[in-house]
Chain A
Amino acid sequence: MSEIAPARQAPRTRPSRPTAGVLVAGLYLLIVLAALIHPGLVAASGPNDTDPISNLLAPGADHWFGTDELGRDVYARVIYGARYSVVIAFLAVALGLFGGVVLGLTAALSGRVVDEGLSRVFDLLSAFPSVLMALLFSAFFGPGTVSLTTAIGLALIPSLARIIRRQAIAIRGSDYVLASRTLGHRPWTIVVRHIFPNAVSPVLLLATIEVGTSILTVSGLSFVGLGPGKPAPEWGSLLADGQAVISYAWWPTVFPGLAIVVTIFAITTVGRYLQRRVQGRHS
């Protein structure tokens, strides 16, 4: 043990400090959070306030991101759009995480037959990447927010469930579970106290990063018309509107796209930083 001790302490004496980039990303995410909770705080006008006289105005002091062909303020639409893009992505990941935890733990802790069966289910789900899943759901249930969220959530299940299953199996065979069993704890207690928290917590951070990726999927699919639909200012729909006027106005395309990119980038940066920190603590 004495040989291992110094190596274990090394990461603790040198905690990974957040870089400037991580801090900026975190600050940006706080603004996004504010826009989600109370968009009126960040944007002066509403997302659907039309003003036919001032349509397609270039960005300026009155309209930071310019106006679209109906005279709606692009900045306000981007701010209110977070309520669609970010929230749908978040709900989809929550659904995927819930399904992944339930199915992953069931596969790990049930008998061989259930495990084999569930792994076939995971194979089947992963044969439909999110876009195909969304196409199927839209064909069967009609396009819209519910189809979109469910499809992306389902597509996320297999990869998360497989990780959780693997973790849970490793933990089930660990010494502290054996110790807990020897102490006479009931199986259910062991699952709740040891297996669940240890199998799920590493996946939580991964899920955070998946929110970023899912924003990309959500906005991409609503760009092609499988999202909430008009006049919801979902970021992908904003880009589709921008595409229609792109030959003479660049701002309805450029700014919503920037919102998507910066948000995903910020989530990924902060997520990876947190992941490094957590790993540093464990190793």
Chain B
Amino acid sequence: MGSYILKRLLHGAFVLLAISLVVFFALRLTGDPVMAIMGQGNPTQEAVDAMRRSLGLDLPLWKQLFKFLGDLAMGNLGTSFRNNQPVMPQIVERMPATLTLAGAGLFVSLLVAVPVGIISAVRRGGFLDIFGRIFALIGISFPNFFLGIMLMLVFAVKLRWLPASGYQGFKYLILPGLTLGLILSSIITRLIRSTMLDVLRAQYIQTARAKGLSERLVIFRHAFRNAMIPAVTFIGLQLGALLGGTVILEQVFSWPGVGRLALDAISNRDFPLVQGSVLILATVMVIVNLVVDLSYGFLDPRIKVGGKGA
């Protein structure tokens, strides 16, 4: 188990190195950050050259790359081109907002997807199944920013039940959390429905029923638990989409998270801040993937993570 985790962490480090190289080169294809910083001030050529020197952008690309990797190895993500502050604390400061929103989205999606998915499977072809499938289809077809603005118009502008945007307490979380959760729940609903249908056809379910167990016990103890394994893998993979979804919704709901920070940094060509944000989000993804793999053992005792005798 220990060596498995070590191997996976090493693997994760390589993934992060590859990502950092891709981000480094991709950013340098996007244009001159000096003009993005000074452009509004209508600067002279001398001022632009001086700024380029002070940001180290006059160095050859390979020197910039080695400096970046060297700093990274020391855990230093660099200093923002815009406000001259270290990048790491700026990102760490934003993480709670993003994780809160992603957590709320996940919570809402499971709250909706698990019952709807199970009912759709158990009452296959029935009214509730059709309703569940239509719900899932709508969710998949809706862009999240559109759903967000619609929910805002209904619950904030028309009904005045909730604040439209901002970050000041629980009620401010409801609309963005609901938007993110509903979109994600539609995909998870479909997955739970199909895996439940597979499991319900399995022989051990017939055995359980033949033993005279109640339908509730058959569904929840035997069927649902087994249906959860592919669902957990899928949800783990969807966390990437969840964090991606927060980028847009943070903008729509004026939510001060890492996504919005990264988005601003991209349009400002603030290279260190973009590199830092991408690397931190990628690190979160690597860790989540590891946790998902480890959770299989918890869900199904027959699976021994990293072992030979599964």
**Chain A partners chain B:** no
**A residues at B contact (CB < 8 Å):** none
